[in-house]
Amino acid sequence: DFSTPHHRYLHFLSVLKPVTCRKQRRNFPMRIMDMLTEKLENLAKQGVFGEGSFLRVQNTLDSGKGAQFQSEIAFLRVDLVIATGKIIGVPLIVKLQVKEEELREENVGDVQFFNEVTMYKTILPELGALDLGLCPKMFHGEAHNGKNPEQDIVVIEDLCPQGYKVPEKLFLDADHLVMAMKKIGQLHGLSYKMKVSSPERLFELRNMLIPKVIDDSKGLNDACLARGFKPLVESSPSYSVVNKVYKKLVVADAVDVAYSLQKPEEPFAVITHGDFNGNNILYKYDASGNVVDMKMIDFGFASYLDPAVDIAFFLYMNSSPETRKLHWDSFLNAYWEGVISVAGDPGFSYSEFHHHFAERAICGYVACSFFLPMMLVGGLSNEVWIHMTADERKNYFSTLGGKESTAAVSAIVSHLLAEGYLDAYLRNLDKVEPPKETLTPGYTNITFNFA
């Protein structure tokens, strides 16, 4: 049952939880490095990294990956000696759980590691994402359901030596945005394709992902959502669409808002990335600086939800108002091209997709009302928020970045209004059924080793 309150908490509340925007990267203690070296040596002896005898583990340059929200990362290289005596280096990114228990519990890191390992090990390969080159390969993953968080680990290939890197700017140009929309369209298209070829298996795959269950944000939700609406509400008549939506949002329960926006509805629902934004995207460029490829990483928030979860968050988070005004239709067309290049006929037309997306596009604002101000100020360290009271967090995050941040989130509301998405949101509310309580699915410890 993917319409449970627990599933409805998954994204809406998770994006409203204060998390760090800086890399959780540090010089690991010697005991951690010793543990990693031993782990990687054992994997090398099992042939996980290819043929050759293990030689050493080296630290490498770590300039290619962007902000890490929930983990600590190390950029390493395993050197192997092949039969000819030549040394072959295998560049790796190794992700570990954050060591602070309070931070790990706040952000449900155990669930994120489980989902990421499950995506890399089973779901992405079976969907065909690796065949399409949508993501890097995982060499090894372990998730221990909170019992041994210090042993949780994800080892993936480091794409930086191949020329991939995170975008340098928060707001991307049209070429970058079009490329990303085609790729996320392809990822979603793989779900549509499997709905036809093997619907039972898709059902099994989506049930492997664990919902992220966390408490309400105790007012943080209302404060962040209201921020972008207030400038328009104050200058609009009480009967305006902006005022109607604003009144709905400020009195609604966060669970009900999440239910209306992200509930998987067929035939549109897909296995989403869940945190699709510039921090989790790597671009590759040609000699002239033109973007030629893109891969997505960090699948800890993956779930079976509405595709708008990925589309709207990415576009509103990583495009400027000017770029949206000039190229919005091109972005949605690029997404559709990606979908049909994989799925052929996904079971609905572009017009039907756009109508459905319009009703849920506001979910991008919900996420950005919290995260966009954070990114505009350059990120936050854990120490800023982790010990704040609920009222302190509410005040801090609802004013973060001052007038610039308020203008940025308000510009998203203006775009939603101009595109007719606020009207569509109101129409969608009339179709939503009341939520039903069910038990939270459980999950088990997993360990995967594979070449």
Single-letter code of the amino acid located at 184: I
Domain total of the chain: 1
Q: What pLDDT does residue 254 have?
A: 62
Q: Domain range spanning residue 85?
A: 5-449
Give the tens place of pLDDT for each residue, 112-125.
999 999 999 999 99
Under DSSP, is residue 155 helix (H, G, I), strand (E, B) or coil? strand
State the DSSP H helix or E strand holding residue 353, giving kind and residue range, or none if neither. Answer: helix 350-360
Q: What pLDDT does residue 391 have?
A: 85
Contact call for residues 224 and 410 (beta carbons, < 8 A): no
State the DSSP H helix or E strand holding residue 35, giving kind and residue range, or none if neither. Answer: helix 30-45
CA distances from 207 to 155, 170, 268, 440 (A): 24, 33, 17, 12
- At 71, is the pLDDT very low, low, confident or very high (cuts 50, 70, 90)? low
Maximum Cα–Cα distance across the chain: 78
**Distance from chain centroid for Cα 197:** 27
Give the tens place of pLDDT for each residue, 126-181.
999 999 999 999 999 999 877 888 889 999 999 999 999 999 999 999 999 999 99
Is pLDDT above 70 for 285? yes
Query: What is the rounded CA–CA span in Å between residue 367 and residue 224?
Result: 9
Query: What is the rounded CA–CA span in Å between residue 229 and residue 15?
Result: 18
Q: What pLDDT does residue 150 have?
A: 86
- The number of residues making up the chain comes to 451
Is pLDDT above 70 for 440? no
Q: What pLDDT does residue 20 have?
A: 32
Is pLDDT above 60 for 317? yes
Give the tens place of pLDDT for each residue, 205-232.
999 999 766 455 456 667 888 899 999 9
Under DSSP, is residue 446 helix (H, G, I), strand (E, B) or coil? strand
Helices (H), ranges, 131-219: 174-197, 199-207
CA distances from 192 to 227, 269, 277, 341, 358 (A): 36, 8, 22, 11, 20
